[in-house]
Amino acid sequence: METTKKTTAKKKKVDDTIIISLYMNYVLEKNEEPKNVYSFCKEHKIEETDFYTFFGSIDALKQEIWVKFFENAEASIQKEEAFSGYSDKNKLLTLYFTLFEILTLNRSYVVFALKENKVGLNNLKSLKQFRSHLKDFVKNEISSSSTVINEKVSKITKPIYVEGAWIQFLFLLKFWLDDTSKGFEKTDVLIEKSVNTVVDLLDTKPLESLFDLGKFLWKEKMN
C-alpha cells in the first residue's frame, strides 16, 4: 500500500531580527511592500503567530526597523569611553555622524522607505518611535548645563534644544537622501556646519555660524 507524502512546507523558527531582515530583503527585491502579514508569512514560510509574537502589524515592523537603527547607533556611541566628557557640540556631532553611518549601510532600504515622503518626513509614521528615542537620547546625554547659564534659563532652552535636534535631523536626512557626492561628503559638511549653528544659537556666536551655513546651502542650491 502506497503512502501519500504531505506537501505542507515546514515553517521556519524566527525571531524579530530574522523577520526584519526578511522584510527588508523582500521590499528591496520586489520594490513593493507585502500586501499583508498573511502573504508575507506565506512567502517566507513562517507562522503568522511567530510574526505577531514580535510585531502587531507591518507598520509596527517598519517602526521597529528605525528603532534598531537608533539602538545600533546608541550602542556604538556608548562604547566610546570619552563620550560623557565631550562638549554638547561634539556629542551632537557624534550622534549624527554615527546615525548617518548606519543609515548609509542601509541606504537602499531607507531610500525605498522614504522616497514618497521627502517633503513630509516629520509626519512619517515609521519614524515615530525613532523620534522618541532620538529626543530622549538628546535630553539625557547631550542637553547639558554647558549651554545654559542657570536653572531658569535651562527650563527654556532644554526643550528647544531637544526639539531642535529632531528638526535638525530631518533637515539632514532630507539633504542626505538627495546627496550624490562621493561618500556623501557634502552631508558630512552640512552636519558639522548645522551643529555649529544650533549650538552657537544657545551660546554666543550665532551670526557667524548662520552666515557660514547660509553660504554652504546657497552654493549647493546654485549647483
pLDDT, position 79 = 93
Q: Where are the beta strands (DSSP E) in 8-150?
A: none
Cβ(67)–Cβ(129) below 8 Å: yes
Q: How far apart are the two ends of the chain, measured CA to CA in Å?
A: 78
CA 96 and chain centroid, separation: 9
- The amino acid occupying position 58 is I
Give dist(CA 33, CA 55) in Å, integer: 16
- The amino acid occupying position 124 is L
Average pLDDT over all residues of the chain: 82
Mean pLDDT of 132-137: 94
More confident position, 35 or 147: 35
Three-class DSSP category at 32: coil
For the ranges 57-66, 132-141, 211-220, which has the lowest average pLDDT? 211-220
pLDDT, position 162 = 83
User: In the predicted model, is pLDDT for residue 70 greater than 50?
Assistant: yes
Give dist(CA 136, CA 198) in Å, integer: 18
Three-class DSSP category at 46: strand
Percentage of the chain with pLDDT > 90? 58
State pTM to two decimals.
0.80
For the ranges 1-15, 18-32, 63-77, which has the lowest average pLDDT? 1-15
User: In the predicted model, is pLDDT for residue 130 greater than 50?
Assistant: yes
Beta bridge partners of 19: none
More confident position, 202 or 151: 202
Mean pLDDT of 190-208: 71
Pull the grid cell for residue 122: 516629520
Beta-carbon-side half-sphere exposure of residue 108 (alpha carbons within 13 Å): 9
pLDDT, position 35 = 93
Say how many C-beta atoms besides its own lie within 10 A of residue 63's C-beta: 19
**What is the pLDDT confidence band of residue 215, given thresholds at 50, 70 and 90?**
low
More confident position, 89 or 197: 89
DSSP code, position 12: B
Give dist(CA 48, CA 118) in Å, integer: 32
